């Protein structure tokens, strides 16, 4: 639907269009529709105007004359000036391209500004990336340093703990060493006291021997004298029978104690921790008798002795005092006894 109004005026002529698609739908010529009868117009014909449907077709129009109506092809025919598949006329397309190029040329500074902004954004982004990388590297170095310091601190703590343990052990060792030195000193003092007592006893025995010798006689050289008896401790070891024979060759007998007092007196002057045969033996009747045939009137058996181990222990030895039954074929030192020579 279209409406066209024409007014007679000396100054202006107006033609109004509403640009509906049906304005020229049934038009067969290139002229705008004529006004009704009785109306006056300044022109009998309206110039032909070509439209491309754009909104800017009339934006710069200064005249009051309506644009020419576009040429329309008859039904069933195509415009020879248009290409196949193209709905816009060639001149309009060229004009649009020209306008676009003009607009682009008029806005080149805007495009340049955008490119500069993009370049600066890229620089800022690259700078931030570099700063982040540097910051990350510094943080990584700090973390490694912290880990190293932590490991060093742990190692130092372990070393300090080890030093404390070693110091404690060294203190215990020093304490034990002091205790050992103290015990050694005590043993040394005891030994000195024993030596002093032994020397004192030897001196007393020597004095007694000298007194007895002056009035009653003397013992052979290297023999011990107690009262009227002389005692000889052998240097070699022999069986019980050979020991008896050796004493006989010295005109003495294998040691026979007449009582416990004599035994205690002899053991006080003999060296400690020695084993020696005495003249006590079991006969065929399993009775203990002294070598001279006298019965055993006293004893000084060690604990759980005699036990006759293996049914072969028929002779007696003294172990620095206590007695023990033993095989007569074993070799031990021996003590011979004789009377003083007047």
Return the residue matching tokens 């067969």.
Answer: 28
Nearest to 302 by CA among 315, 316, 291: 316
**Within a domain: 129:** no
Q: What is the mean pLDDT of residues 232-246?
A: 94
- pTM of the predicted protein model: 0.39
Q: Please report which confidence band the pLDDT of residue 215 belongs to, taking 50, 70 and 90 as the band edges.
A: low
Q: Six-digit token pair at 134?
A: 């540097």
The whole-number pLDDT of residue 200 equals 85
CATH number at residue 264: 3.10.100.10
Contact at 8 Å (CB) between 299 and 323? yes
**Within a domain: 323:** yes
**Within a domain: 84:** no
From 74, 99, 119, the end of a domain falls on: 74
Higher pLDDT, 286 or 237: 237
Q: Please report which confidence band the pLDDT of residue 95 belongs to, taking 50, 70 and 90 as the band edges.
A: confident
**Within a domain: 280:** yes
* Full residue range of the structural domain in which residue 1 is found: 1-74
Query: Residues of the chain with pLDDT > 70: what percent?
Result: 70
**Within a domain: 80:** no
Query: Residues of the chain with pLDDT > 90: what percent?
Result: 27
The whole-number pLDDT of residue 97 equals 76
**Within a domain: 62:** yes
Q: What is the mean pLDDT of residues 67-73?
A: 51
Domains in the chain: how many in total? 2
Long-range contacts of 142-148 (CB under 8 A, 24+ apart): none
Tens-place pLDDT, residues 168-187: 998 889 888 898 999 999 99
From 18, 53, 74, the end of a domain falls on: 74
HEC string of the chain equals CCCCCCCCCCCCCCCCCCCCCCCCCCCCCCCCCCCCCCCCCCCCCCCCCCCCCCHHHCCCCCCCCCCCCCCCCCCCCCCCCCCCCCCCCHHHHHHHHHHHHHHHHHCHHHHHHHHHHHHHHHHHHHHHHHHHHHHHHHHHHHHHHHHHHHHHHHHHHHHHHHHHHHHHHHHHHHHHHHHHHHHHHHHHHHHHHHHHHHHHHHHHHHHHHHHHHHHCCECCCCCEEECCEEEEECCCCECHHHHHHHHHHCCCEECCCCCHHHHHHHHHHCCCCCEEEEEEEECCCCCEEECCCCECCCCCECCCCCCCHHHCEEEEEEECCCEEEEECCCCEEEEEEEECEC
**Within a domain: 38:** yes
Tens-place pLDDT, residues 117-158: 999 999 999 999 999 999 888 898 889 888 888 888 888 898
From 74, 104, 119, the end of a domain falls on: 74
Measured from the Cβ of residue 335, the count of other Cβ atoms closer than 10 Å reads 23
**Within a domain: 259:** yes
Contact at 8 Å (CB) between 29 and 74? no
């Amino acid at each position: 639907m279209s409406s066209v109004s024409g007014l007679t005026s000396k100054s202006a002529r107006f033609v109004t269009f509403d640009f509906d698609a049906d304005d020229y739908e049934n038009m067969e010529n290139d002229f705008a529709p004529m006004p009704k009868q009785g109306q006056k117009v300044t022109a009998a014909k309206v110039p032909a105007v070509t439209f491309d449907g754009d909104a800017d077709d009339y934006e710069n129009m200064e005249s009051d004359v309506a644009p020419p109506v576009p040429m329309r092809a008859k039904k069933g025919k195509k415009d020879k000036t248009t290409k196949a598949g193209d709905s816009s006329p060639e001149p309009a397309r060229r004009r649009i391209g020209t306008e676009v190029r003009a607009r682009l040329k008029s806005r080149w500074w805007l495009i340049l500004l955008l490119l500069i902004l993009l370049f600066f954004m890229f620089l800022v982004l690259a700078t931030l990336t570099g700063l982040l990388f540097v910051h990350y590297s510094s943080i990584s170095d700090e973390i490694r340093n912290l880990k190293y310091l932590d490991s060093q601190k742990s190692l130092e703590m372990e070393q300090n703990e080890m030093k404390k343990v070693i110091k404690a052990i060294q203190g215990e060792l020093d304490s034990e060493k002091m205790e050992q030195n103290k015990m050694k000193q005590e043993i040394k003092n005891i030994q000195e006291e024993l030596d002093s007592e032994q020397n004192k006893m030897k001196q007393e025995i020597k004095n007694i021997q000298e007194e007895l010798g002056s009035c009653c006689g003397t013992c052979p050289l290297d023999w011990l004298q107690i009262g009227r008896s002389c005692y000889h401790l052998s240097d070699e070891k022999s069986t019980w029978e050979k020991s008896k024979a050796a004493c006989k060759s010295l005109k003495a007998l294998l040691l026979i104690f007449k009582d416990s007092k004599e035994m205690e007196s002899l053991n006080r002057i003999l060296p400690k921790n020695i084993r020696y045969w005495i003249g006590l033996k079991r006969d065929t009747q399993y009775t203990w008798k002294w070598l001279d045939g006298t019965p055993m009137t006293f004893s000084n058996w060690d604990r759980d002795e005699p036990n006759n181990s293996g049914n072969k222990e028929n002779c007696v030895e003294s172990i620095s005092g206590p007695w023990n039954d033993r095989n007569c074929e074993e070799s031990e030192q021996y003590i011979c006894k004789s009377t003083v020579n007047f």
